[in-house]
Structure 1
């Protein structure tokens, strides 16, 4: 087997995030469920954007955020995702490449425009996401570079992108390529909304042994299991994957690897400002530890530190030097 030249290649939505403060009244006016993610059409995206206050615009997308964290920790990464050749598409491409992440997917020249996520952050730091998938849902199977997939230790897939048919087919092909090359496949469930739509698909992937590392939060794992008891839900899936990682907000996180359970508490944070990207950065820390041979306890701790950093400010990309925050974890 050829030694991998990259740590991770990820496939996900290529999105530009628009983040703004909002109050509960605004959410109620648009019948938005606080803390949820919903897909919106062009008209709804324009209406919500018009009703949002002043905001920050920055490149985002769940898997891309994870790679941003990994790149900040010195890991070698590549991203596969679809943008259009418009202003937001050029901004996304510039931002991800500026982080040192390889991004070679050709931009579309036709409608729809580049995807964007309108994120409303309420005073309790909960983020309500309204996602217009745009060009990202048109990632074709032909965009999957098999040699690139084979070159990475881990293929990381974003559950959000499972919704459209075209990228779903692309991801299935990438999983097959990774499996044939003997690489690990990591999958993040992303959101209970996505699980409700594709629970059977996700459970089939797990049952068929196609996922090595499964990331979820407490709500997602119970939704996947259709069980209201956290421990029962964990017990259902832990034997089916090599590593199950479940985050629990202020209660910390657990990892079950080959049947052995590990836990860590949440890392301290002075003030929770915006929970956008917490799970993405947790995955970044965990996977950064994993590809460098760290044990599950250290991987969990690295994930917790990365998540704590990102929830201390607006936006889903780290602003503080993650290497400095990790301290001895990067050198031990």
Structure 2
């Protein structure tokens, strides 16, 4: 077995989130539906980006990228694999990950689509967020981007279900799981989204039942969708049979882990106000994965995950605003 270099390596879509305020009427004038996420093409993305106000805020994002950032904030050794282009936003993405202590060494896309971006327009009159997402370079991840020494040196490799959309990324996903098992490491993935589950239910179930994937992450909606039932108890019973380990988030009701037929639940940590639920599942995964990678009990790993999620929902944005090591120490969850 390769020596452990990282606690958690995540693989997913590399996207830069760009947030900017807009005056009343802008959303309607641009033909957008307020509060909705719109998928757009390259020309539209470049046009909108060029018209965003000077006081725009940028942060590197994407679900698995957020999870890697959370692992680093918790004091873990994190790595991320995802594709950006050789452009300004690609430079930004790479530099930010270096700054937060996440290893990022994926080769840039030289000739092809620009770096993926999600432009979030915040209406000044009511604070509503309208998203315009261009996937671009992030969908060009291939098997060539999967490095065995990195996967083999990671206690856990964690991947997005969204990687199952592009064919080449799907191959990269399977190769990463193969490298993890070849080096006696665990492979994990998140179901990502109920609509993603609807598209690939049979294939996701095969990944789990064939033991290509060891650990499964989902929220209750995704889990019910996977087993096509509204009965959460029935869905839990089925995932207990299929998966070595499953971690299920339940919003205000906390989270549960299912392992060897045993179900362990913990409550959510209270917050004064839920400001923005974006990234809650990503940060839960950070805490739970790091806990498992470092040999914590399932109860402790669940609590660390719920604590990380509680911080990120208390403010706008999908990244912690304080070092999560401070929170874990305060709650006796360090290490």
State the secondary structure of the residue aligned to 2:333.
helix
2:60 match: 59
Q: Is the 8 A contact 1:113 1:135 kept in 2?
A: yes
The Cα offsets for residues 101-154 of structure 1, whole Å up to 9 and x where unpaired, read as 111111111221000123467999997755321001001211111111111111
Q: Is the 8 A contact 2:76 2:290 kept in 1?
A: yes
Alpha-carbon distance in 1 for matches of 2:321, 2:33: 32
Alpha-carbon distance in 2 for matches of 1:128, 1:179: 41
State the secondary structure of the residue aligned to 1:329.
coil
Q: Is the 8 A contact 2:35 2:128 kept in 1?
A: no
Comparing 254-263 with 45-54, greater Cα deviation is found at: 45-54
1:301 match: 303
1:9 match: 9
- From 280, 292, 304, the equivalent of 1:278 is 280
Alpha carbons of 1:63 and 1:199: their partners in 2 closer, same or farther (altered >3 Å)?
same
Q: How many residues align?
A: 327
The Cα offsets for residues 197-230 of structure 1, whole Å up to 9 and x where unpaired, read as 2222211101111111111011111111111222
Which of the pair has more CA radius of gyration?
Answer: 2
Specify every segment of 5 or more residues in structure 2 that has no aligned partner in the other structure, as ranges.
none
1:89 match: 90
Aligned residue runs from structure 1 range 28-177, under 5 A = 30=32, 39-42=39-42, 45=45, 56-119=57-120, 130-177=132-179
Specify every segment of 5 or more residues in structure 1 that has no aligned partner in the other structure, as ranges.
none
TM-score (norm 1): 0.89
Aligned residue runs from structure 1 range 304-315, under 5 A = 304-315=306-317
Offset of residue 275 of structure 1: 1.2
Offset of residue 193 of structure 1: 2.1
Offset of residue 41 of structure 1: 3.0
Offset of residue 321 of structure 1: 2.0
Aligned residue runs from structure 1 range 223-262, under 5 A = 223-262=225-264
TM-score (norm 2): 0.88
Alpha-carbon distance in 2 for matches of 1:312, 1:152: 31
Offset of residue 242 of structure 1: 1.5
The Cα offsets for residues 52-77 of structure 1, whole Å up to 9 and x where unpaired, read as 89753211111111111111111112
